[in-house]
Amino acid sequence: MAYRTHFCGALRKEDISTTVQLAGWIHRKRDHGGLIFIDLRDHTGICQLVFKPQHTDVFERIEHVRVESVICITGAVIPRSEDTINHEIPTGEIEVDVHALSIENLAEPMPFPIADETQTSEDLRLKYRFLDLRRERLHSNIIYRSKVIAEIRKYLSALGFNEIQTPILTNSSPEGARDYLVPSRLHPGKFYALPQAPQQFKQLLMVAGFDKYFQIAPCFRDEDARADRSPGEFYQLDMEMSFITQDDLFVVLEGLFDQLTKTLSKKRIWQLPFPRIAYRDAMNRYGSDKPDLRIPLEIQDVTAIFENSGFKVFAQNTAKGRCVKALVLKGKANEPRLFYDKAEDYAKTELGLPGLAYIRYRDGEVQSPIYKFLSDAEKAKLIEALNVQTGDVVFFAAGAWEKTCKAMGTIRNYFGKTYPIDKDLLAYCWIVDFPMFEYNEESKKIDFSHNPFSMPQGGMDALLTKDPLEISAFQYDIVCNGIELSSGAIRNHKPDIMYKAFEIAGYTKEETDARFGHMIRAFQHGAPPHGGIAPGIDRIVMLYRDEHNIREVIAFPMNQKAQDLMTGAPSDVHEKQLRELHIKLDLPK
């Protein structure tokens, strides 16, 4: 190689007395009067260089070079003195005595420090993302992401999966999130859509007989940003398999995450196989269909205790579809008043609750705003049902089942922060048995609750004989530490069942054919049982790198307003381009 014989991060004491050529960026620069020390950084790490006055030309030239300039050097590897060894870096026992220097590019002053991870505004970081990516933490995140993808490919290929690319320009679908539309020049007035996911294409690959498919798939959704969701585009591990059951897919995914954990992380998986929790159980016990199982708190149902209660607030919430929930915090009864005031304020401001009822079982006394309204029998039943002991506090919520579960789930997460959580523990679980349908209060009709292409449990017989709101589907989510990594399903591959499912959701046969006719036609020509899932690559890397913002694991992300501050996208286009696409702008005033 013309510029280097070695990489900066690869030199060790075994290389002492070797003449080397190195190339990289000036990471830090320290002028000690008679000597100038430079930390030279390349993709592999840092090596210390020393410039001595006896190499006059080299010494004088390096004096005026700024940090982050690109240089190439030739020098001899020498040992550091015992008192200057740096045990924090792999190259800390050696340095390079430089006797030749080539300055490849002089850097302008940096908009923010590169060597030090100082707090910098996100907009500035995104504008100069090419500089931000030089910083150690972000740089290592992107390298780690590459290793995750490589390990995924290695694992799935060994299991006989085929990596197949699906179209980027496809048809717009009215379901799901908002599409990104691409106008067609050759077909005026018509539009392509960027795929929200390769869902239909991967199912068609199963119909085509490819058996096991995967792809590191780019997906596009015009939706608002969140800490765990990037606006515009994201990547997922898209998978589909033929002739499988739900259990077969779980084995493959659990093996994959076990492999990633063992090869790329110091973390450990809490339980293998992953626990399986039915959707209703998850909502009842954790108040969420993406529970963090590391939190040592579990919601309990106490509805039956108050069926004939004189305390009307609870009694009126014992009818069908309503509930009374309790959350026990062991040993927290003696917390100061501020602890309860903050919790109540959180419930009011963040959840919109009128308050937060509680009972504190303190030494020799019970403190509670609701205790006087309860009968002696109800008080005794609570202690027995919840296994309450002196020092415990019980929080309550009552109302419509789903809303109450979610409120208690949020409270559970709020109090969960007061308990020690093992950050190196990966508490994976499967959430299963999602309801096939739900009642849409806005449109006043039954609608699909999760994925319309899922196979209902019980097949056609369930659709014909059961209350639609009691039908479960072969749908599942994989969750870890409170983060949903993906949804998946065993697909509905039978046209008659598909027509019936859509009929229950209010679609006529003609409407189903108009929207999904290509899927129906495919299933009418010999479709195997099949199913799949699509874990998000960005979220997987977030999880393993302990990052809380998805932009920290994406090389070139957009900001929260779906703007690329570095390139200026989205941007205006020339009038000529609009004319070619037969587009006239009608901008808001």
**CATH classification of the domain holding 223:** 3.30.930.10
> Is 454 inside any structural domain?
no
Out of 44, 70, 105, pick the residue that ends a domain. Answer: 105
> Is 181 inside any structural domain?
yes
CA atoms within 13 A on the CB side of 403: 9
> Is 403 inside any structural domain?
yes
Whether residue 147 sits in one domain with residue 244: yes
> Is 506 inside any structural domain?
no
On the 0-12 / 13-18 / 19+ scale of CB atoms within 10 A, 264 is middle
Q: What average pLDDT does this structure show over 125-145?
A: 97
Helices (H), 434-505: 459-465, 495-504
Q: What are phi and psi of 40, to 5 degrees?
A: -95, 130
Between 161 and 347, the higher pLDDT residue: 161
pLDDT of residue 32: 86
pLDDT of residue 98: 97
Whether residue 253 sits in one domain with residue 133: yes
Residue 226 predicted with pLDDT over 80: no
Between 343 and 16, the higher pLDDT residue: 16
List the beta bridge partners of residue 323.
399
The rounded distance, in Å, linking the Cα atoms of 397 and 475 is 29
Whether residue 338 sits in one domain with residue 233: no
Whether residue 233 sits in one domain with residue 137: yes
Out of 70, 105, 140, pick the residue that ends a domain. Answer: 105
The rounded distance, in Å, linking the Cα atoms of 411 and 397 is 10
Tell me how many domains the chain contains: 3
Q: What average pLDDT does this structure show over 172-192?
A: 87
Query: Mean pLDDT score of the chain, rounded to an integer?
Result: 94
Residue 173 predicted with pLDDT over 90: no
pLDDT tens-digit map of 40-72: 999 999 999 999 999 889 999 999 999 999 999
Residue 1 predicted with pLDDT over 90: no
Residue 174 predicted with pLDDT over 70: no
> Is 273 inside any structural domain?
no
DSSP 125-146: HHHTHHHHTTSHHHHHHHHHHH
Whether residue 367 sits in one domain with residue 322: yes
Whether residue 220 sits in one domain with residue 179: yes
Instruction: Provide the percentage of residues in the chain whose pLDDT is more than 90.
Output: 86
Whether residue 89 sits in one domain with residue 28: yes
pLDDT of residue 211: 97
Out of 354, 389, 420, pick the residue that ends a domain. Answer: 420
Q: What average pLDDT does this structure show over 315-323?
A: 94
Instruction: Provide the percentage of residues in the chain whose pLDDT is more than 70.
Output: 99
pLDDT category, 227, cuts 50, 70, 90? low
DSSP 176-209: SSPPPEEE-SSSTT-EEE--S-SHHHHHHHHHTT
CA atoms within 13 A on the CB side of 250: 19
Whether residue 201 sits in one domain with residue 89: no
Residue 429 predicted with pLDDT over 90: yes
The rounded distance, in Å, linking the Cα atoms of 545 and 542 is 5
Contact 182, 191 (CB under 8 A): yes
Whether residue 248 sits in one domain with residue 334: no
Residue 368 predicted with pLDDT over 80: yes
Whether residue 356 sits in one domain with residue 415: yes
> Is 477 inside any structural domain?
no
> Is 182 inside any structural domain?
yes
pLDDT tens-digit map of 490-514: 999 999 999 999 999 999 999 999 8
Q: What average pLDDT does this structure show over 148-174?
A: 95
Q: What average pLDDT does this structure show over 427-431?
A: 98
Least confident of 170-174, 383-387, 435-439: 170-174
Residue 440 predicted with pLDDT over 80: yes
Whether residue 25 sits in one domain with residue 100: yes
pLDDT of residue 352: 82
> Is 165 inside any structural domain?
yes
Domain housing 32: 8-105
Whether residue 74 sits in one domain with residue 20: yes
Residue 341 predicted with pLDDT over 90: no
pLDDT tens-digit map of 106-123: 999 999 999 998 899 999
Between 231 and 191, the higher pLDDT residue: 191
CATH of the domain at 402: 3.30.1360.30
CATH of the domain at 41: 2.40.50.140
pLDDT of residue 264: 97
